Structure 1
Amino acid sequence: MRLATFNLLHGRSLSDGTVHADRVAAAVERLDADVLGLQEVDKAQPRSGLLDLTAVAAEAMGATVHRFAAAVVGTPGEQWQPWRSDDDNAHPLYGIALVSRFPVTRWQITALPAAPIRSPLYDPENGLRLLKDEPRVLLAAVVETPQGALTVATTHLSFVPGWNIRQLRHAVRALRTLPGPRVLLGDLNMPARPVRAVTGWRSLASKPTFPSFSPRAQLDHILAHPRDLPALGRVVQVATPRADISDHLPLLVHLDRP
């Protein structure tokens, strides 16, 4: 079984700054993942051609099931507000998604509140800026694989140091209510050492993923609780394939499950 996580940067290419469905589809198809967690996902956004990027990824994977979970309504970096209810779905949305080739028997969405204050963030194009943090979400699914049920979750945590640790603790607590084995995929906006210190979970894939053009840090992770490792099986491949989109590399792990 192949699990992957990919921060899409809403499908934008760093080479020309544009978004094309075929580039997103090619990057996803190259992963050949059975379950894929996506972050920075647009839905009906003008900046990405009104595409439903979750649906684009699902078609490229040949996946039977997919779900998008909105974190904000509007466009990050411009005008936005927290997503509150299905009434907001008539507007441009931004969030995370899970795509699966296997059936899903249960979904769970957990809200992860934003940091309460503006925080500095370095933008290569605009320098140091004080930004309002966005709310985040955890999207989890109980997936029925040929080897049995598996809980897979994805999230994209805050860039604010310390606050992302608080969100990660909240996410791990939420996953305790779902059946094991459990795997967390996502852009956690922190390196491996604090992730392990906070959660006790083990990394299934250790490779730098950011920035994509010269990766130096691992911000994207595939994690499992130590008790779940025997049921998940042996890791036979870890990869960070190159893609024509995003400032993150996708992270892929191939498991030989018993």
Structure 2
Amino acid sequence: MRLATFNILHGRSLVDREVDLDRYARAVADLDADVLALQEVDRDQPRSHGADLTAIAADAMGAPHHRFAATLTGLPGVWTGATGDHQPNAASYGVALLSRYPVTSWSVLKLPALRGRVPVVFPGRRRLNMVLDEPRVALVAVVEAPGGPMTVVSTHLTFIPGWGPVQLRRLVYRLADLPRPAVLMGDLNLVGSRPAQVTGWHTLAEGLTFPVADPNRQLDHILADGPLRPTSDSLSIDTGVSDHRALVVEVEQY
């Protein structure tokens, strides 16, 4: 089984700063994932040609089972928090999860959010910025994988220092009663081995994923709890889309 996680930057390429839907579809197809977690996904947004980027990815990889969970509704700059549910007829932004294997259940988990603006110093800058974080959710599926039921999660954690581990611990707690093995994939905005240390889960894939052209840190992760192990070296792939590389690994249940 091939797993992949990819922060797609709403399909935009840093090569020409354009959103080319055909290029995006090729990028997803080339990953050849059986289960794919996506972050920074648009639906009905003018900047991505009003497309449903989850549906395009599903067609490209041949995944009949897929969901999108909105975190923000409306246009960039004026959008507001969404429920995390599929909201028809609304421009939205969020996370997605796609599977070639049957899915027996879907759920959306809201993650704890900081209220109001908080002070943040961004890397490479000296000035203190007061920032308002966006809502965060986890999209959860129970997949009928070749080795039996498996829980799979796609999420995108906050960039605000110190708060990502809080969200991650809460998420793991809420996944405790779901089938094992469980896989957590996404842009966790935590570097290196930190997610494994916070969760107690084991790392399935290692590779520098950000920034895309010359990556110097791993923000994107694939973690597991239960009898799941990699069967190959993981790959960090520059797809020609996004400011992140995709992270891919072959795994098996045992």
Whole-Å Cα distance in 2 between the matches of residues 174 and 232 of structure 1?
20
1:1-258 matched pairs, under 5 angstroms: 1-76=1-76, 78-84=77-83, 88-119=87-118, 120=120, 122=122, 129-225=129-225, 228=226, 231-258=227-254
Question: Structure 1 residue 71: deviation in Å?
Answer: 0.6
> SS of the counterpart of 1:91?
coil
Q: Distance in 2 between matches of 1:170 and 1:176?
A: 10
C-alpha spacing 1:62/1:218, structure 2 compared with 1 (3 Å): same
- Check whether the contact 2:111–2:136 (CA below 8 A) recurs between aligned residues: yes
Pick closer, same or farther for the CA change 1:22–1:199 going to 2, 3 Å: same
Aligned residues: 251
Per-residue deviation, residues 7-66 of structure 1 (Å, max 9, x unmatched)? 000001112211111111111111100000000000000111001000010001011111
Q: TM-score, normalised by structure 2?
A: 0.93
Shift of 1:128: 7.2
CA shift in 2, pair 1:107/1:87, >3 Å: closer
Q: Which stretches in structure 1 are left out of the alignment for 5+ residues?
A: none
User: What is the DSSP-based 3-state SS (H/G/I as helix, E as strand, rest coil) of the residue aligned with 1:237?
Assistant: coil
Please tell me the residue identity of whatever aligns with 2:231.
Answer: V
> Structure 1 residues 86 and 109 mapped into 2: Cα distance closer, same or farther (>3 Å)?
closer
- What RMSD over aligned residues (CA atoms) do the two structures have, in Å? 1.9
Q: Call closer, same or farther: CA 1:47–1:252 in 2, change over 3 Å.
A: same
Change (3 A) 1:218 1:16: same
> Cα 1:87–1:174, aligned 2, differ >3 Å: closer, same or farther?
closer
TM-superposed deviation, 1:121: 6.0
TM-superposed CA distance for 1:244, in Å, is 1.2
Gaps of 5+ in 2: none
Which is worse superposed, 109-118 or 32-41?
Answer: 109-118
Identity %: 51
Work out the CA distance in 1 between the residues paired with 2:155 and 2:13. 22
AA paired with 2:162?
A: G
- How big is the shift at 1:193? 3.0
CA distance in structure 1 between the partners assigned to 2:182 and 2:75 by the alignment: 32
Is the Cα–Cα contact under 8 Å of residues 234 and 257 in structure 1 kept in the other structure? Answer: no
Per-residue deviation at 1:129? 4.8
Q: Provide the rounded CA distance (Å) in 2 between the counterparts of 1:66 and 1:54.
A: 8
The TM-score normalised by the length of structure 1 is 0.91
Deviations 1:105-127 (A, max 9, x none): 01111001332232436499xx9
Q: Residue 234 and residue 133 in structure 1: after superposition, are their counterparts in 2 closer, same or farther (change >3 A)?
A: closer
Counterparts of 2:152 and 2:177 in 1: how far apart (Å)? 13
* Mapped partners of 2:66, 2:23: distance in 1: 19
How many angstroms apart in 2 are the aligned matches of 1:118 and 1:134?
A: 11
Q: 1:39 to 1:56 in 2, by over 3 A?
A: same
Q: In the aligned structure 2, how far is the partner of 1:200 from the partner of 1:85?
A: 27
Say if 1:236 and 1:256, in contact at 8 Å, map to a contact too: no
